[in-house]
């Protein structure tokens, strides 16, 4: 380990692995270390035994749950937009050859105590029980405006500059009611709170277009795709890319300490008494606790279910969004 590298990367989360992959492809000498004995850092996927060890210490998972290796449980659960930037990155870097994906069966929203399918285009809007007859017509007009909107073609703007007009003002033009605004903002544009209403409408329109494009891309019941063996596969795919181009990997390295010179510049990383020299360090926040501040928290729960979720058409994989207003909270679930 006592060598010199161009870059040392600490932590094998998705961002760190994408960077180490790209830097290796670029011809830099990269050393990549992690204090854990698995890839993925905070965004890893654990099997049952690892999950119990992490949250229950020495307890063992109950036998009726089946084989541990059949589970890949994400510590940082997310879905991937089928037409989003991450998919473009995966295709551009050719790491798709290391991954298997599955389309997610459905996207649902919680409204007035019931679970409903999210209508994603003008035709689905007409069938949706989320809205009354007249509201459906208004929503359809809004969907058509969004579908036709093209940032570089002023003819599609209907006289509105979406970099200035707020989302609230745009929606008011179509006379949509609060319930409709709720599912458009939270289940289509995927905002997690209501701040977007006072912000320029362009971002919300782009998010809605991305949703519709993603839905059309794989003709599935939702706009989302997901790695077949859990999200922990993504960092590993980029780690393989890095290794193919000469990156060096060391897992299970305790107490990786970033070393600085008198001027506060990075000079290397020490672990187990050995120091690897470098000019740059890329790391996740947990490796430099003194240089980060906490700005928020995410609360998570993991439920292992014995049946499909009711009202979701017996789907094997779904996303259900519970908008903040429906729950009397400040953020969505």
CATH number, domain at 52?
3.50.50.60
Count of structural domains, the chain: 2
- Tell whether 93 is covered by a domain: no
Angle at 91 between CA 225 and CA 321, to 5 degrees: 20
Do 112 and 155 have their domain in common? yes
Sheet holding 106-111, edge to edge: 114-117, 106-111, 318-321
Q: Are residues 211 and 255 in the same domain?
A: no
> For residue range 78-126, what is the model confidence (pLDDT) as tens digits?
999 999 999 999 999 999 999 999 999 989 999 989 999 987 667 777 8
- The region, left, alpha or beta by phi > 0 then psi within -120 to 50, assigned to residue 48 is alpha
Residue 202 lies in a domain: yes
**Domain match, 214 and 163 both:** yes
Q: Flag whether 148 is in a domain.
A: yes
Does a structural domain hold residue 52?
yes
Shared domain check, 34 and 134 = no
In this model, does residue 1 exceed pLDDT 70? Answer: no
- pLDDT average, residue stretch 295-317: 91
Distance CA 16, CA 10 (A): 7
Q: How many residues comprise the chain?
A: 333
- Are both 198 and 321 inside the same structural domain? yes
Q: Considering the chain, what is the average pLDDT of its residues?
A: 92
Say if CB 160 and CB 170 are below 8 A apart.
yes
- 333 located within any domain: no
What is the tens place of the pLDDT at every residue in 165-195?
A: 999 999 999 999 998 999 899 999 999 999 9
Do the beta carbons of residue 19 and residue 282 sit within 8 Å? yes
Do 181 and 139 share a structural domain? yes
How high is the pLDDT of residue 221? Answer: 82
CB count in 10 Å sphere of residue 48: 20
Instruction: For residues 155 and 236, state if they share a domain.
Output: no
* Residue-wise pLDDT tens digits, 209-256: 999 999 988 877 889 999 999 999 999 999 999 999 999 999 999 889
CA nearest neighbour of 321 among 120, 43, 177, 163? 120
301 found inside a domain: no
Whether 33 is covered by a domain: the verdict is yes
Strands 106-111 and 318-321: parallel
Same domain as 188, residue 320: yes
Domain that holds residue 265: 4-78+231-287
Q: pTM of the entire structure?
A: 0.86
The pLDDT of residue 218:
81
* 254 and 218 co-located in one domain: no
Co-location of 212 and 319 in the same domain: yes
152: domain CATH number is 1.10.405.10
37: helix, strand or coil: coil
Confidence band for 127, pLDDT divided at 50, 70 and 90: confident
Has residue 90 been placed in a domain?
Answer: no
């Amino acid at each position: 380990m006592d060598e010199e590298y161009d870059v040392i990367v600490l932590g094998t989360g998705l961002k760190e692995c994408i960077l180490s992959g790209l830097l290796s492809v670029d011809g830099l000498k990269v050393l990549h270390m992690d204090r854990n004995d698995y890839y993925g850092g905070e965004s890893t996927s654990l099997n049952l035994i690892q999950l119990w060890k992490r949250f229950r210490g020495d307890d063992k998972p109950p036998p009726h749950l089946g084989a541990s290796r059949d589970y890949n449980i994400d510590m940082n659960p997310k879905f991937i937009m089928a037409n989003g930037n991450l998919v473009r990155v995966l295709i551009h870097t050719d790491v798709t050859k290391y991954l298997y994906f599955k389309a997610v069966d459905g996207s649902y929203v919680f409204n007035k105590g019931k679970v409903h399918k999210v209508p994603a285009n003008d035709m689905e809007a007409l069938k949706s029980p989320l809205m009354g007859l007249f509201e459906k017509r208004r929503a359809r007009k809004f969907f058509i405006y969004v579908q036709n909107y093209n940032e570089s073609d002023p003819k599609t703007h209907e006289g509105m500059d979406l970099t200035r007009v707020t989302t609230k003002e745009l929606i008011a033009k179509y006379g949509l009611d609060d319930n409709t605004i709720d599912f458009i903002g939270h289940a289509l544009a995927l905002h997690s709170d209501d701040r977007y209403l006072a912000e320029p409408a362009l971002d919300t329109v782009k998010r809605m277009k991305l949703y519709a494009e993603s839905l059309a891309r794989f003709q599935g019941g939702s706009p989302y795709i997901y790695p077949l063996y859990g999200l922990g596969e993504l960092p590993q795919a980029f780690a393989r890319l890095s290794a193919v181009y000469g990156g060096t990997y060391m897992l299970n390295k305790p107490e990786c300490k970033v070393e600085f010179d008198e001027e506060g510049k990075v000079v290397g990383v020490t672990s187990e008494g050995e120091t690897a020299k470098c000019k740059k360090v890329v790391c996740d926040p947990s490796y430099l606790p003194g240089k980060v501040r906490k700005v928020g928290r995410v609360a998570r729960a993991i439920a292992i279910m014995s049946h499909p979720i009711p009202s979701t058409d017996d789907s094997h994989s779904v996303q259900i969004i519970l908008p903040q207003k429906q729950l009397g909270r400040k953020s969505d679930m």
